[in-house]
Amino acid sequence: MTTLKNEDTLVLSVRNLKKYYGNIRAVDGVSFDVKRGEIFALLGPNGAGKTTTIKCILGFRRKDEGEIILNGTVSFVPDGKELYGSYTVERMVKVAKELTDRFDEKKCIEYVERFEIPVDEKVSSLSSGQTTQLYLAIAFSQQSDLYIFDEPTWGLDPIVRNQVLEMIREIPLDGKSVFYTSHILSEVEKVADKVAIMSKGKIMDIGYLDDMKEKYCAVSVPKDLKDVTVEGYKYKSTESEDIYIVTKDYAISKNLEFSAVPFEAIFEALVLDRNNFNAKTKDIQ
């Protein structure tokens, strides 16, 4: 991993990252940038390669190919959130201060109180949701340039999840950046500036969330129209028609009627890709 010393608009840059496990391409040519003051979400189903990407960025896994450029300090919350079970919450916070540079103990206690976690409770007695909240409180209290969260709201109830999302949304107000993975699309739409959709180790598309929602639309192709090619992703089928997610530019160029689609449909179509891109043989006229 290369670390830049100079100030730059990018806090993280990943180029052509590849990580293989035998014949399995866990990460296959992934590239993206995270700017300062930006919330970047890496989306994908389980097994897409999101966690492996994070582990390569942090040096927990040796990459096979590619370049990772990190410009600044990092605070990390992993998918598996484990703390010292025999410690009280208060002691855990003090240990975090001892082990972590740029740690604000007072701020951490404020987060703990905000989450209503008893400070004299043993970590082993906390629920899984409370353990996640404590881990997040510790991470939020580190003065870092980039906060990396792997499924940060997993296991939280809806009220606490919204509270955490609001805290994440506040991070860029100080010029800091967030890189996080998730498969919960509703939360991504609440906080993310830029998104990358990942499936089977590859990035299917990447861009600012609003631009991506504007980029795609739905077109319907009657099933009695034989031997056609649709430059897009098959999304759904009914008794009478197939529905594809395509770019608006393509729909307009073919004079096709189209309709707006929610981000959830875009994500599902790109990830599942039921019919493969450019699957048939004759163009739509």
Closest by Cα among 160, 138, 43, 121 to 82: 138
Instruction: Round to whole Å and give the CA distance between 176 and 2.
Output: 20
pLDDT given at position 61: 95
6 or 33, which is more confident? 33
pLDDT given at position 273: 65
C-beta pairs of 81-88 under 8 Å, 24+ apart in sequence: 81/131, 81/132, 81/135, 83/123, 83/131, 83/134, 83/135, 84/123, 85/122, 85/123, 85/124, 86/122, 86/123, 86/124, 87/122, 87/123, 88/119, 88/120, 88/121, 88/122, 88/123
Judge if pTM exceeds 0.85.
yes
Say if residue 103's pLDDT is above 70.
yes
Contacts of 102 (CB under 8 A, 6+ apart): 73, 142, 143, 144
- Which amino acid, residue 114? R
pLDDT digits (tens, 9 = 90+) for 175-220: 999 999 988 898 899 999 999 999 999 999 999 999 999 999 999 9
Say if residue 284's pLDDT is above 70.
no
- For residue 64, give both structure tokens: 């096979």
Say if residue 283's pLDDT is above 80.
no
Contact 169, 176 (CB under 8 A): no
- For residue 179, give both structure tokens: 């890189």
Confidence of residue 2 (pLDDT cuts 50, 70, 90): very low
- For residue 66, give both structure tokens: 């590619």
The neighbouring-strand residues paired with 218 are: 245, 259
Given its phi and psi angles, is residue 273 left (phi above 0), alpha (psi -120 to 50 degrees) or beta? Answer: left
pLDDT digits (tens, 9 = 90+) for 118-159: 999 999 999 989 999 999 999 999 999 999 999 898 888 899
pLDDT digits (tens, 9 = 90+) for 109-125: 999 999 999 999 999 99
Which domains are assigned to the chain?
2-208 (3.40.50.300), 211-272 (no CATH)
pLDDT given at position 8: 60
Say if residue 260's pLDDT is above 90.
yes
pLDDT digits (tens, 9 = 90+) for 38-93: 999 999 998 999 999 999 999 999 999 999 999 999 999 988 777 888 999 999 99
Confidence of residue 6 (pLDDT cuts 50, 70, 90): very low
Query: What's the rounded mean pLDDT across residues 21-48?
Result: 95
A 10 A CB-CB count for 156 gives 20
